[in-house]
Chain A
Amino acid sequence: MTIDVPTTGRSLPQLQPISFIDADGRLTDTPTAGLRIPGDRTLTGLYRQMVFVRRFEAQVTHLTRQGRLATYPSAAGQEAAEVGATTALAPGDWLFPTYRDSAALLTRGVPVGEILAAFRGDWHCGFDPNEYHTSPAATPLATQTLHATGFAMAAKLKGADAATLTFLGDGASSEGDAHEAFNFASVWQTPTVFVLQNNQYAISTPLREQTNATMLADRAAGYGMPGLRVDGNDVAAVFAAVTAALERGRNGDGPTLIECLTYRMESHTNSDDPTKYREAEEVEHWRQFDPIDRLEKYLRSTGAVDDAGIEEIAAAAEALAESVRDAMNREAEIDPLELFAHVYAQPRTDLAEQQQVLEAELAAAGRA
């Protein structure tokens, strides 16, 4: 008796990361797995959004140091992955972000005050998920990857066109939930794109202690889905890869795992001290792969942007930074009684009693 086992249909991602534009702003000769470089107009738009995002992250980090926010995890250095992936989404697609992905929320059009509500100390996620087709950012690691899978499955069952995209980190890829999501998505053939931002660290833990695999994109093969490894600092490559993966999903061809090789330039959050676990030289080394510098060089070389264009974008980014300062310097009005308002759909008498306790205290303190 022979055992019938499939011997084809399994492929590993290419070792060399897919990239179109190298660190010097020149076109690469790297194989790109059939993907095509986006046109200059698209690239200029991506450039613009990356500049916005960088300015946004710098401004929020600064305000956090001044005590305006409780904590903030910056994605500085990861602009290409954040912007390239999110821009590839259609408006009807859904995004399932993490705490690291404020840049993606900004790219999705969520107003800055709403993006930052929770980091600032409010009790809710700030924005209406249904309005922006974006789930609240998840902090319990990798949990959102399953939500993205389930959402996509429901879309498939309803015959809807929507795909889902979820971000996760190199550290989060070790959590059981990540593996379960990869498997569910592949078994169910859901239109889900897993964008794994490999920024080399999970707080202090370096990639080599997180995984013994050659690359994280290899995981896809074990779950029977395509995996791609892209230069995560090349926004052209990220955008092209995610666009193609979303298309695959919408065509009924199932999920894709895309590992974006990048680097976390800032500390994990403002309360982290990276000097305890990495050398300043390493951070400097990564500066030469900067996603924005290289695209600027490239777009200048094709004539898509010139000094005036760059200046206009920088000025618009300044205006964005100012709007962030305005929003964060305004004292947030938070009504303590809202603590009780949204715990259940069906009101509960014991909760109402507890609310009365707080109401009485506030009244006694002259605060209500």
Chain B
Amino acid sequence: MSVEVDTSTRTPSAPAAEAVTMAKALNRALRDSLAEDDTVLIFGEDVGRLGGVFRVTEGLRAEFGSTRVWDSPLAESGIIGTAIGMAMNGMRPVVEMQFDAYAYPAFEQIVSHVAKMRNRTKGRVALPITIRIPYAGDIGGVEHHSDSSEAYWTSTPGLTVVTPSNPADAYALLRESIASDDPVVFMEPKSRYWMKETVSLPVATGPMHRAQVLREGTDATLLAYGPTVRTALDSAEAGAEHGLSVEVIDLRTLSPFDDETVSASVRKTSRAAIIHEAARFGGYGAEVAARLTERNFTHLSAPILRITGFDVPYPSPKLEEYFLPTVERVLDALESWDWEL
């Protein structure tokens, strides 16, 4: 049972554009999904009465009742495990892991069952589950509240991993994730929850599996996703002041990787760098650098670089500024290339 959501045609009269935060856009996406498909269910820790610790599910229990939106007991493996059973029985659960690091108790259920059910059943059992995970740092969070856990999920075959960087994409990508018959790990960059954008919802922003060129350039390509898209755009702006024309791509979906869009850009600019908050060693950037090199080696005039967090545990509020990739570090990376070539 699949629900077709064509967000471009579902608005009878165009609603007025208003300034919405990413949290609000996600809330609207959940609301519209609940309204449109009564197999959509939302449960998790504090998502009902409280509306979630980030208020992403605010008001949904009041509007749809506690058989559609409810607070579960406090157990992440339990939440994902029961979502699996519900999905096998015709439901489309959208569950929340309260914070990145608190998804770890559910690791077994996610990597061994959510990711593999389709394959184990020869395609006979689909698990249309959306696992929402607030992730990454830069919010002054104490330990365990700022992890970038994306590489655990992207290195698991069977999972689709999505992460928006702005309110419009947050709305559109979450609608599409919920409608997808593949399980989706939907990673919400916490530091962007309060980012505002003027947009009229519902909005369509291009297919989920495609990356998006946010700024065109000819000298180098900066790849980013979620929380670091802002850093990439700011770096491109700063680069322009140094006479560099930098293209910026928001990956939007980490798995699958949009080779077409990204390779086209890299072939044009011949240089690329990827920015993420997660530690470098074995991080998502390693996959990006490897596959871009494999596919575009002869078009490259410099090695692909990674601007990432250090290979240390995510630090405390007082030290995050030293850990997070900054515009300066991105510029240093750009400058490290041999531009005479």
Contacts and interface: CB of A to CB of B under 8 A. Distances in A.
Interface in B37-56: 45-46, 48-51, 53
Interface in A129-168: 139-141
B104 A205 contact: no
A205 B46 contact: yes
Nearest to A354: B310
A343 B74 contact: no
Given A339-B312, A351-B312, A139 B50 contact: no
A30 B131 CA distance: 48
A120 B143 CA distance: 11
Contact of B281 (A118, A339, A350): A350
A135 to B, nearest CB: 14
Contacts of A357: 329
B143 A276 contact: no
Contact of B318 (A141, A177, A334): A334
Nearest to B70: A209
A286 B328 CA distance: 54
Interface residues of A, number: 40
A138 to B, nearest CB: 9
B311 A354 contact: yes
B105 interface: yes
A211 interface: yes
A141 B74 contact: yes
B138 interface: no
Contacts of B46: 202-205
B322 A336 contact: yes
Contact of A205 (B71, B142, B316): B71
Interface string B159-195: 0000000000000000000000000000000000000
Given A175-B105, A176-B78, A121 B317 contact: yes
Contacts of B142: 70-71, 118-119, 121, 139
Contact of A140 (B45, B101, B310, B323): B101
B102 interface: yes
Nearest to A274: B50
Interface string B196-225: 000000000000000000000000000000
Question: What 5 pairs across the A-B complex have the smallest Cβ distances?
Answer: A204-B50, A121-B318, A121-B317, A171-B74, A174-B73
17 contacts: A140-B101, A140-B102, A141-B74, A175-B76, A177-B105, A202-B46, A204-B48, A204-B50, A205-B46, A205-B49, A205-B71, A210-B74, A276-B49, A334-B319, A348-B311, A358-B322, A361-B328
